[in-house]
Amino acid sequence: MSTVQTKKSVSFEDTSVAFAHQSDSKLRKTYLIFAMMNQNWLVKIGTFFIKIAIRLGLPIKFLIKNTLFEQFCGGESIETCQKAIDNLAKAHVGTILDYSVEGEDNEKDFDKTTQELLLTINKSASQQANIPFSVFKVSGIGSVELLEKVQEHPEDLTPEDNAVFDRVKARVARLCEEASRLNVRLFFDAEESWIQDVIDQLCYDMMAKHNVKGKTIVYNTYQLYRWESYENLIASCDKARKGGYTVGAKLVRGAYIEKERRRAFEMNYRDPIHNNKQETDEDFDKAVVYAIDNLDVLSICMGTHNENSCHLCMKLMAEKGIANDDKRVWFAQLLGMSDNISYNLANAGYNVAKYVPYGPVEAVMPYLFRRAEENSSIAGQSSREFLLVKREIERRKAKNC
C-alpha cells in the first residue's frame, strides 16, 4: 500500500477505456493468453518445454510469435513495430522502442547493438509525437564482467581492460550525442547493483553535457527498492543545480530483487535492497513527492504498474497546479501490461508511453519468460491483468444482452 492518501482522480477500473483498442476477438485471445499464464504449473512446464524445443531446433516460433510475442512485443524489427506504434498513438499513448535482445557478450555484438540503438533514436526523431523516448541498457553495449571489474576492482584493470572500457564510454557518448543532436530523450535503464555505479557515472557525465539550455535529454533510472536510491536522487539534483544542468529521472521500484539478495547473501555484504515491500513503496512515494517539488531541475518518468503510485503523482500534480500534460512528467508501462493504467491516464490527458520490446523471436525469449512468470498466479491469486480482461469480456457481453 502507498503511504500517502491519494485522491482517485482517474479510475483504473474503467476497462471500457483500457481495452477500447481491442476488438472482441483480440480481447478473447488476450484472455486465453492470460488465462494460460495464470496457471502457475503451466508456465513452469511450458517454459521448460519451450527451452528444450528451442535447443532441439523444433519449429515452435510460430506458436510463440502468435501468443506471448504478439502480446508483449511490437515486432521483430523497428519497421514491423510500426503497427504497434500507430495503434498506441490512436489512444495518445507513446512508444518507447526497446531493443530487447539479451546475452550479447562480444565487441562485434556491442557495436551492432549500438548501431541498432542509433536507428531507434533516429526513428524516434522522425516520429517524436508518437515515440517520445529512446532507451538502452549499458550491458547491451559493454561486457557485464568488465563493468563489474571497473566498479569493484578498478585496481586490477589491465591496459587492455581500460581500452575496452574506453570503447564502452565511446558508445555511450555516441548514443547521447545523437539523441541530443536530434532532440530525443534517452533513458539509461537501471541494472544490477554491482554494475550500477559505473552506469550512474557514465549517465551523470552525459547529463552534465547534454541536459543544458532548457533541454532534458538524458534520463537515469532510480530503483527505489535500493535503500540508497532516494538519497542518490536528491544528491544528483543538488549537483545538477550547482552545475547548471537538469536531471532526467525514471523512477522504478527495481527488477532484480532475487539476484540482488542471493549475491549479497553469498558474498556476505549488506543487502542493497530494502527489507520489505513497504519500505520500497515508502521510498518510491518519497521520490515522487520530491520530484514534483523539484520540477525546476527535474523531469520524471514514472516507470510503474502500481496504481497507488500513479494516483499519488496525479494528486500531487493537481495540488501544485501542474497541467496533466506538463512535459516534465511522464508515466510509462510495458506493452501488453497494465493497459488499465496507460489508457485511462492517456484518456485523462496525461503523458503516457509504453516500452515496446522488439527483436527476433528467439532472441527476446528471456524477456517473454519473465513476463509469463510475472503474470502467473501468486499463491492461488489470479493476476490483475487476467481479472481485468475477464471483467471487460463480461462487461461487453452484458452490454450486448
Ligand X SMILES: Cc1cc2nc3c(=O)[nH]c(=O)nc-3n(C[C@H](O)[C@H](O)[C@H](O)COP(=O)(O)OP(=O)(O)OC[C@H]3O[C@@H](n4cnc5c(N)ncnc54)[C@H](O)[C@@H]3O)c2cc1C
* Residue among 137 and 171 whose Cβ is closer to ligand X: 137
Which one of the spans 108-116, 120-128, 195-203, 275-283 is the region binding ligand X (CB under 6 A)? 275-283
Which one of the spans 3-11, 102-110, 177-185, 274-282 is the region binding ligand X (CB under 6 A)? 274-282
Binding mask 155-184 for ligand X (x = CB under 6 A): ------------------------------
Give the separation between CA 121 and CA 319, rounded to whole angstroms.
35
Binding mask 237-256 for ligand X (x = CB under 6 A): ---------------xxxxx
Q: Where are the alpha helices (DSSP H) in 127-212?
A: 144-152, 159-181, 193-210
40 binds ligand X (CB under 6 A): no
Give the separation between CA 378 and CA 375, rounded to whole angstroms.
9
User: For residues 200-239, which are near ligand X according to CB under 6 A?
Assistant: 221, 223, 225
* Residue among 12 and 23 whose Cβ is closer to ligand X: 12
* Residue among 19 and 225 whose Cβ is closer to ligand X: 225
CB of 251 to ligand X, least distance (A): 9
Q: Which residue has the cell 516534465?
A: 328
Of 116, 178, 189, 200, the one binding ligand X by CB under 6 A: 189
Give the separation between CA 123 and CA 280, rounded to whole angstroms.
35
139 binds ligand X (CB under 6 A): no
Of 17, 64, 141, 273, the one binding ligand X by CB under 6 A: 273
Which one of the spans 111-119, 121-129, 300-308, 314-322 is the region binding ligand X (CB under 6 A)? 300-308
Is the CB of residue 376 less than 8 Å from the CB of residue 39?
yes
Q: How far is CA 378 from CA 38, 41, 263, 334, 383, in A?
A: 9, 11, 24, 20, 7
Of 332, 335, 341, 368, the one binding ligand X by CB under 6 A: 332
Is the CB of residue 96 less than 8 Å from the CB of residue 355?
yes
Task: Find, among 84, 14, 69, the residue nearest to 341 by Cα.
Answer: 14
Task: Find, among 211, 251, 213, 215, the residue nearest to 332 by Cα.
Answer: 251
* Residue among 144 and 212 whose Cβ is closer to ligand X: 144
CA 176 to chain centre: 18
Amino acid at 364: V
Is the CB of residue 184 less than 8 Å from the CB of residue 126?
no
351 binds ligand X (CB under 6 A): no
Of 27, 288, 334, 364, the one binding ligand X by CB under 6 A: 334
* Residue among 40 and 157 whose Cβ is closer to ligand X: 40
Residues 6+ apart with CB under 8 A from 364: 69, 73, 100, 101, 102, 357, 358
Residues at the interface with ligand X (CB under 6 A): 189-190, 221, 223, 225, 252-257, 273-274, 276-277, 280, 303-306, 332-334, 355
